[in-house]
Amino acid sequence: MNSCGFFYPDFLNIIYNQLMEKKEIVNRIELINDPELNDFLIYLTQVLSYSALTAKSYGEDVAAFLLFLKKANKPKDQVDKETIRMYLLDLNIANIDHASIKRAISALRHFYRYLCHYKNFANNPFETISSPKKAKKLPEFLTFEEVTDFLDSNKKRTDFLAKRDQAILELMFASGLRAGEVISLRTTDLDMEQRLVKVVGKGSKERIIPFSKTAKLALEDYQEDLRPRLLKEKKDEGILFLNSQGSPITERGLEYLVKESALKSGFSLKVHPHMLRHSFATELLNNGTDLRVIQELLGHESINTTSIYTHVSFEDLKKTYERCFPKAKITNEDNTMKKAVIFDFNGTMFFDEEKHVASWKKFAKDEFNVTLKDEDFAENIHGKNNNAILTYLTGQVFTPEEVAKYAEKKELSYQKLCEEDQKNLHLVKGIKSFLSFLNSKNIPIAIATASMKPNVDWYLKTFDLLKWFKEENIIYDDGTLTKGKPNPMIYQRGMKTLNCLPNNCIVFEDAISGVKSAYNAKAGLVVAVERPERVESFKKMKEVNLVIQDFENLPAEIYDFLGVKNQ
């Protein structure tokens, strides 16, 4: 038996150690320590030759169910449809997504088949349980402004492969090509004079697609300059796009190329090849192109496949509605001109840094015997979500349930410290009048905080925030923010919630990771709210436009940016 209580033979001990080296944890499997589950894992790896990671995934799903049975005092061989129904209800209450529930049912169905075949169980209660239908996932796409920003930023690159990458990106957006179609293109497939490209799509069906003038220029630049250099001494086989070794690009290589182009050009959003195809189709649809024409350009066999692009943005729907019903138009406000303000909360609207430091230090020591130093906070604690902080403290990856459990302990300690210091339990000086001013000018406002819901609820109650903010405009760590600050995700979500372009948003922040997040989200104005001893260091940061100490006597630049007169 190993240290975790598993009855693994030697080869599974090796697998287990490999998983632990990758900081993979098997908390549920350890906790339940069920001999039949252990045998099932051995069966998966030894008999069915499943990988260690797949077996671990199955094991965690089964272990979660066995823990549920243990809590309900229900033996494995007495599970019925009512038991399963209650378990699925628990998963739904916990906001487990459909894909995870579907995977869990599949794992349990497989587990009980094993029990019936090898452990003499009478029946498989999961055999007749239907998996939840997979939600129809809408394609990810970039707006025309975002694509333009991406292509313009990438055009400024000066590295060796920049011209090839620009030609690929321009062509993919201009013609909506699949990844496989791009890497298969030959130089003879291009008609530069007519700006047409011949594409061989699925089922070896050919179609002719036009491309833009900018794509033409990029293609000519690549073919005349870089492509001959990539070929070097190699024989020219006619493949249009080549890798750095002069060989054809693979699909995986194209994915990497697009991802790296975004990173190299400083574009803040994650991009993949199919996203450019989706953006092409969405832009055509938003500009009134008939769905049948889009079907032909994309090479779809069925119009039903193309119809998924009928998701248009709220603004497009609103513009169409207002064009058809002009009397229903309430405002002449142009979204491209609308300004908005997003606030971080902790350390920005409420000076609570000492309370957070004290509660995190106590929590880290009590739970993990880790001693946090003051210098740990600037880069690794302030502005980070709870999941990232827990990983920093332990080097482990936690489940959402574990993150919620630990976060609740820490936040209760933090709230207690705040409530014991009633003298300082108030919003930052000047913020109330500033919020009221923004409301009076109909300037949309939001909060973007790394806190989880229990803390957000406490903030709402303690500071009466709904006096100024709409509840739907308070963005927090609800489990779907997979990347914490300095990643731009939280501020991009805030901007989308307020339906405002990034360069029209002011962000108020106090943390290093926070101002970097706002900068990466391309906020038009990043304002750091800092204590006096840190003002000068924040002024030196390229990500910061202004530094203030509170919200009284705000700089004129803020009001100028918003296009309103000073209070």
Residues serving a catalytic function are 178, 202, 274, 277, 300, 309
Secondary-structure breakdown of the chain: helix, strand, coil percentages, each rounded to the nearest 5: 55, 5, 35
> Quick check: helix, strand or coil at residue 211?
coil
C-alpha–C-alpha distance, residues 298 and 255, integer Å = 19
Which runs of E-coded beta strand occur in 300-379? Answer: 340-343
Token pair in block for residue 166 = 């620009």
312, 285 Cβ separation under 8 angstroms: yes
Q: Beta partners for 198?
A: 208
Burial 393-406 (b: 16+ CB within 10 A, else e): bbeeebeeebbbeb
Q: In what order do the strands lie in the sheet with 445-448?
A: 474-475, 445-448, 340-343, 505-509, 525-529, 546-548
Does residue 486 have a cis bond before it (omega within 30 degrees)?
A: yes
Burial 335-350 (b: 16+ CB within 10 A, else e): eeebbbbbbbbbbbbb
H-helix or E-strand containing 439? helix 431-440
Residues sharing a CB contact under 8 Å with residue 148, sequence separation 6 or more, in sequence order? none
240, 222 Cβ separation under 8 angstroms: no
Residue 506 phi, psi (nearest 5) = -95, 135
Residue linked to tokens 């923010």: 481
C-alpha–C-alpha distance, residues 211 and 191, integer Å = 10
197, 184 Cβ separation under 8 angstroms: no
Token pair in block for residue 529 = 């709210």
The dihedral through the CA atoms of 473, 474, 480, 481 has a sign that is positive
Least Cα distance to 164 among 256, 226, 95 occurs for 226
- Measured CA to CA in angstroms, residue 404 lies from 93, 214, 369 at distances of 14, 49, 19
C-alpha–C-alpha distance, residues 168 and 249, integer Å = 11
